[in-house]
Amino acid sequence: MAVLCKPAIAVPEYVITNDETLELARRLHSDHPQLDLVLNLIAHTGVRKRHLIQPIERVLQHPGFDERSVIYEAETKARVPAVVNRALDHAELEPEQIDLIIYVSCTGFMMPPPTAWLMKTMGFRPQTRQLPIAQLGCAAGGAAVNRAHDFCTAYPDANVLIVACEFCSLCYQPTDVGVGSLLSNGLFGDGIAAAVVRGNGGTGVRLEGNGSYVIPDTESWISYAVRSTGFHFQLDKRVPGTMEPLAPALSALAEEYEWNAGKLDFYIIHAGGPRILDDLSRFLDVPPEAFRFSRATLTEYGNIASAVVLDATARMFDEASAFDGDRGLMAGFGPGITAEIGLGTWTSGPDAVE
């Protein structure tokens, strides 16, 4: 019985509001031929504020990919351990009880991966397995939970630590002035999340099943162009409409377990933007309130990439509205276009009565 325990979340100290983002767009791109469209799109992202690892003035400077890589490593080492410790505390485990660390990030690169540094620094066993996931973008949060579930299915007594570290501000590119790029500048934020999947015991979401689905011929819709200046995010205007083909994939997985995807008790959905949530609500025929955890993440932090699903999960824990046996769905969406889908039931522990 693999159980996703309460995630721990941290966002950095520098804050930019949506109003400040709009003012920046007006000032930096006053001669943009589609400025009114850009401003309208940013205004309707549903984002109230975002958190950054640096003041916005430093983000805008873009000192080069080399320097950004140095910042990524330094900020990772400075910020991740505290989040990991809180996640371990939530799961009532010690570092030496972790058998696999899944480390997720699409906004920076280190080799060896940060998992090796964490093992040395925080007391994980040298035998701890490592699984870095770097190229699934926002879908990787769901993928990490699913791979943790798979591992605990193969090794029923194992425990898995998931870490999602996303510094999206390090991907800002001042020369990218397409509408999709400018919209992204007003949507993405920085954040770190960690959670433990316990093979035995624990309170949280008991993982029942998982699956993946890739929409054919959409691999160029969300992508990076990797250049000397770093990662250049590319977003196709068709992306917001992808819930129409993805909703049936979510329903199909639920049906494999004789569940109805439109009649579940809780939903943890990647909040890529408001239309994704609005469309999925419509296609699954669930009330908009069902996605309140994801909307809260989007409003307060923006799109924090792979960390969204863990933050939304933590909000469900904080609300304390789930009862033993409640059924739910988790889904992360990202490049591919890929959906990573999971099903789970709420459990208060091994002795819970459902």
Q: Which of 5, 106, 138, 165 is catalytic?
A: 138
Residue 152 appears among annotated catalytic residues: no
Q: DSSP assignment, residue 324? A: T
> For residue 294, how far is the Cα from the chain centroid?
10
- The one-letter amino acid code at 199 reads G
CA atoms within 13 A on the CB side of 138: 32
- Token pair 């990573």 in the structure block, residue: 340
Q: Do 91 and 202 meet the contact criterion of CB atoms below 8 Å apart?
A: yes
User: What residues contact residue 116 under an 8 Å CB cut-off, 6+ apart?
Assistant: 130
What token pair was written down for 60? 């805008």
Q: Mark out the alpha helices in the chain (DSSP H runs).
A: 18-28, 35-43, 56-61, 65-91, 114-122, 140-154, 179-185, 243-256, 274-284, 292-301, 308-319
Q: Measuring CA to CA, which residue among 107, 99, 45 is closest to residue 71?
A: 107
User: What residues contact residue 52 under an 8 Å CB cut-off, 6+ apart?
Assistant: 12, 14, 15, 16, 59, 169, 189, 190
DSSP secondary structure, 141-163, as one string: HHHHHHHHHHHHHHSTT-EEEEE
Ramachandran category for residue 21: left, alpha or beta (phi over 0 → left; psi -120 to 50 → alpha): alpha
Catalytically annotated residues: 138
